[in-house]
Chain A
């Protein structure tokens, strides 16, 4: 700050800067900024950390199409988790899928929970999981009711009766024709239930068909009820009437069906695990049975 003495711009000759009082708030107010930031950021971090609850592992035979951090775990169509890793089990027999479950849906991981992979499926009567053609497969879960659990074995495909209430009875037959899971069960032509599983009996002497009757129609099944399978087409060659063809419905024509009739309302209702015989064709008399059985009102 040295200047020539003769210079016109000596310090005293210079104009003075204008002073202005500017601050409208005390200095410490600025410390509110990090304080608010800490609260907001804290909430954000907390929410992120608690977004996902338990991690579960599910073993599948085949995990084609599942992608870590992309494939969802869904329950009733809502995403409840996300696949985080896929690895082979040490013996190479399974794929171990690790999934993070959202905190609010932590209850889906319980003893008895069923996991399966939803893929596009084109059957003779239905097309299912069509959206997964584009989106890729996802894992669907049906929660059990037992204790919390984190290790599961996935199923190939769930029983169609999964999660449905109703009367479960078993039909035994010597030879299974076109009946498969999801085959409809009719009473007077009305669909009242479906086949949930087919299997051989314990000693391999018969085929067992597990049937689920909707709760509303459960009372129709009595101890004296008769079940028979229908392929949908009934061709009768008769000398006097000529050819008689009965077709039940296109669906049962293709996929077959099970029909039952009940003689009267006096016989006791069937209970769980009653075994009926599945006949090949009805006797004429069964078709005339028309007992009055009150059924609860439904929709």
Chain B
């Protein structure tokens, strides 16, 4: 038997050990206060894995299209960064590269790391891992930054209204990566990091 405080209304209440597949709700406001074991880790791992699957096509297909009357050129996120770099826009090239290629990948790596350490019941670096997860949650809402940065910056820097974001397979994959990563980080229960019951910080 442990105690939990409801995230929503703050009521402290007793929490009996939960069976798998069971959730506990606040007696006062009905908000969820705890989830039974299992599920969280599997969901996080599954969504992360699915996001990783789409990572490859997201960077293979063009997401940006520059139209110029009859002709067009299509560029992937990578091409866009390279192109910007060639044009001397080093800063923007770095931002685009980080936002669209590095950060999504690092996010997935971080999730896999969290899942693996919880799974192995590791007690090391728990404080750091909790902080890592908070960082993940912080950049969560910015998950679509990649496409956003690409579309706005490249459009501004290059040909203005002649550049459009391709609503094609590239964007679909990009969105899939972003959404699945978000679902993965939402599924992750940070309490699992502290589950071994070691009370020292």
List A17-59 residues whose CB lies under 8 Å from chain B. 17-23, 27-28, 30-31, 33-34, 36-38, 40-42, 44-45, 48-49
Q: How far is the CA of A40 from the CA of B16 in the complex (A)?
A: 42
Q: Counting CB contacts under 8 A, is B188 at the interface?
A: no
In the bound complex, residues from chain B placing their C-beta under 8 Å from that of A123 are none
Interface residues of chain B: helix, strand, loop or mixed (majority): mixed
- Given A17-B25, A27-B42, A44-B169: A11 and B14 within 8 A (CB)? yes
Q: Counting CB contacts under 8 A, is B11 at the interface?
A: yes
Q: Counting CB contacts under 8 A, is A134 at the interface?
A: yes
List B2-43 residues whose CB lies under 8 Å from chain A. 2-4, 11-16, 18, 20-28, 30, 33-34, 38-39, 42-43
Interface string of A168-187 (1 = CB under 8 A from B): 00000000000000000000
Q: Counting CB contacts under 8 A, is A16 at the interface?
A: yes
Q: Counting CB contacts under 8 A, is B49 at the interface?
A: yes
B77 to chain A, nearest CB (A): 14
Number of interface residues of A (CB under 8 A): 40
Contact A16 B46 (CB under 8 A): no
Q: How far is the CA of A15 from the CA of B39 in the complex (A)?
A: 26
> Nearest chain-A residue to B79 (Cβ)?
A69
In the bound complex, residues from chain B placing their C-beta under 8 Å from that of A249 are none
The contact of A37 among B11, B21, B60, B176, by CB within 8 Å, is: B176
In the bound complex, residues from chain A placing their C-beta under 8 Å from that of B46 are 30-31, 33-34
A235 to chain B, nearest CB (A): 47
List B142-184 residues whose CB lies under 8 Å from chain A. 169, 173, 176, 180
Q: How far is the CA of A42 from the CA of B53 in the complex (A)?
A: 8
In the bound complex, residues from chain A placing their C-beta under 8 Å from that of B169 are 44, 48
Q: How far is the CA of A17 from the CA of B34 in the complex (A)?
A: 9
Number of interface residues of B (CB under 8 A): 51
> Nearest chain-B residue to A9 (Cβ)?
B12
Contact A70 B72 (CB under 8 A): yes
Contact A44 B26 (CB under 8 A): no
A-B contact pairs, 28 of them (CB 8 A): A11-B3, A12-B14, A15-B13, A16-B15, A16-B16, A17-B14, A17-B25, A19-B18, A20-B23, A20-B24, A21-B22, A23-B22, A30-B42, A30-B47, A34-B46, A34-B47, A37-B180, A40-B53, A41-B173, A42-B53, A44-B57, A44-B60, A45-B56, A69-B74, A69-B75, A69-B79, A70-B73, A134-B69
Using a CB–CB cutoff of 8 Å, the interface residues on chain B facing chain A are 1-4, 11-16, 18, 20-28, 30, 33-34, 38-39, 42-43, 46-47, 49-51, 53-54, 56-57, 60-61, 68-75, 79, 169, 173, 176, 180
The 6 closest A-B pairs by CB, nearest first: A37-B50, A135-B70, A44-B57, A34-B49, A23-B21, A17-B24
Using a CB–CB cutoff of 8 Å, the interface residues on chain A facing chain B are 1, 9, 11-12, 14-23, 27-28, 30-31, 33-34, 36-38, 40-42, 44-45, 48-49, 67, 69-72, 131, 134-136, 138
